[in-house]
Amino acid sequence: MFTRASILRIVALVVFAQIASIGCAQTAEATADATPAEVVAKAVDAANAFLKSVDQSQYEQVMYSFLDNDQRDNWSNLPVANVPRGGLRWGDLKENQQQAAMQLLKATLSENGVQQVIDNMNGDEFLKQNSRRRTSFGSDEYFISILGEPSTTSPWMYQFGGHHLAINITIVGDQMTMSPTLTGGQPIDFEWEGKQVRQVADEEDAAYAFIESLTDDQKKKAVIAERYGDIRFGPGATKIEPAAEGMKATELDEKQLQLLKVLIGKRIGVLNATHAKIELEKIEADLAETWISWKGSTKNGGDASFRIQSPSILMEYSPQRLGGVPMNHIHAMYRDPSNDYGAGLIEARRKEKQKK
């Protein structure tokens, strides 16, 4: 008699064999003029090429059911020593496997998004080299997993992350979302291979450009606390329904509204240009229901946190005390309350099928 474990193993063997027969397709970064379907096709090719590069044992480690909620929610800002991740460890992958995994990132993220991932990993390696907790940190301690068989029709997702990083890309048909995604890092400023690195620099500068553009009366509404606060809707958060607070976007003039759009675009711009454009259009449609709240200093270089929220975006940015210099340790959270883990896309797809 077959046990559940033996049946799952047989299924894994069959699917692994199918993937092994797929050629190692060339992938390229998504460009702004690519259609959603073209971007997804490249992502599927990249995912299958990565799966082709691993052996059977690794395949069984990296693959999960799309319905595996435990794995789906298994991401954190904490080091893997504190919160063990599922999937394949970056440090255990061969060079060609790492390159194949990076192609999947390049197929779904923007060039800037990929660079943020690289900077985050290098920052954690810097932390390892300059910390007593050497086994907790480092670029080897990042994990990749795939939930569901890569497909241009059926829902699937991949996860890539470690300390201060959680990329969650869900694909449904030709649509894609990165909700939820955690970025940031520690340290934010560091030297790597002779070059000075400043993580999330563009976003931080855009945030201060926005807050400094407000009048004193507007700041009285937008700034809700003198001291910065922590993110509230990061790992483990299930109810993504924050109370409206701060200042409404409808109170901004045209120049201020443009600065707000630039700020939002810095975070959404982690995603490839084609799907980021779709997300930004949805966010812009909800501007009348968008709220901005700020805590802390309104001068660039000061310690401050902020949140932007609407039916289609929840964007948080928060400095952390650990490490001594709050703005050198950042947690940045992005969620789409209407589409976390692609829930909105999946529901829309279900309704479409019912009509047919």
Give yes or no: residues 46 and 160 share one domain: yes
Q: 92: Cβ–Cβ under 8 A, 6 or more apart, which residues?
A: 140
* Cα separation, 248 vs 150, whole angstroms: 40
| Nearest-5° Cα angle at 24, 20 to 28 | 140
The answer to whether residue 24 scores a pLDDT higher than 70 is: no
3-class DSSP state of 89? strand
Q: Diameter of the chain by CA atoms?
A: 74
Domain assignment present for residue 262? The answer is: yes
Question: How many domains would you assign to the chain?
Answer: 2
Tokens 């999960």 correspond to 64
The answer to whether residue 26 scores a pLDDT higher than 70 is: no
Give yes or no: residues 142 and 230 share one domain: no
* Cα separation, 88 vs 55, whole angstroms: 12
Domain assignment present for residue 354? The answer is: no
* Cα separation, 331 vs 315, whole angstroms: 11
Give yes or no: residues 166 and 272 share one domain: no
Of the listed ranges 74-78, 158-162, 263-267, 321-325, the one predicted with least confidence: 321-325
Domain assignment present for residue 184? The answer is: no
The answer to whether residue 197 scores a pLDDT higher than 60 is: yes
Of 154, 179, 204, the residue at which a domain comes to its end is 179
Domain assignment present for residue 352? The answer is: no
* Cα separation, 165 vs 173, whole angstroms: 26
Q: What is the mean pLDDT of the chain?
A: 91
Partners of 184 in the β-ladder: 331
φ, ψ of residue 316 in degrees (nearest 5): -120, 150
| 199 close to 185: Cβ distance less than 8 angstroms | yes
- What's this model's pTM, rounded to 2 decimal places? 0.90
The answer to whether residue 108 scores a pLDDT higher than 80 is: yes
Give yes or no: residues 22 and 141 share one domain: yes
Give yes or no: residues 215 and 331 share one domain: yes
Domain assignment present for residue 104? The answer is: yes
Give yes or no: residues 214 and 160 share one domain: no
What mean pLDDT do residues 167-177 have? 98
- The pair of structure tokens assigned to 62 is 């990296």
Give yes or no: residues 10 and 155 share one domain: yes
Range of the domain at 261: 195-338
Give yes or no: residues 201 and 143 share one domain: no
Give yes or no: residues 65 and 156 share one domain: yes
3-class DSSP state of 307? strand
3-class DSSP state of 301? coil
Of 152, 179, 206, the residue at which a domain comes to its end is 179
* Percent of the chain clearing pLDDT 70 (strictly above): 90
Instruction: Please give the DSSP secondary-structure letter assigned to residue 109.
Output: B
Q: Residue 330 is inside which H or E element, if any?
A: strand 330-335
Confidence band, pLDDT 50/70/90 cuts, at residue 15: very low
Neighbouring CB atoms inside 10 A of 134's CB total 11
Radius of gyration of the chain (CA): 21
Domain assignment present for residue 189? The answer is: no
Q: What pLDDT, on the 0 to 100 scale, is given for residue 194?
A: 95
Of the listed ranges 170-179, 276-285, 343-352, the one predicted with least confidence: 343-352
Q: What pLDDT, on the 0 to 100 scale, is given for residue 125?
A: 96
Contacts by 20-25, CB closer than 8 A, 24 or more apart: 20/52, 22/48, 22/49, 22/52, 24/49, 24/52, 24/53, 24/100, 25/49
Domain assignment present for residue 43? The answer is: yes
Domain assignment present for residue 343? The answer is: no
* Cα separation, 319 vs 137, whole angstroms: 19
Give yes or no: residues 200 and 128 share one domain: no
Give yes or no: residues 61 and 207 share one domain: no
| 62 close to 54: Cβ distance less than 8 angstroms | yes
Residues 303-354 have pLDDT tens digits of 999 999 999 999 999 999 876 788 999 999 999 999 999 999 999 999 988 8
Give yes or no: residues 144 and 57 share one domain: yes
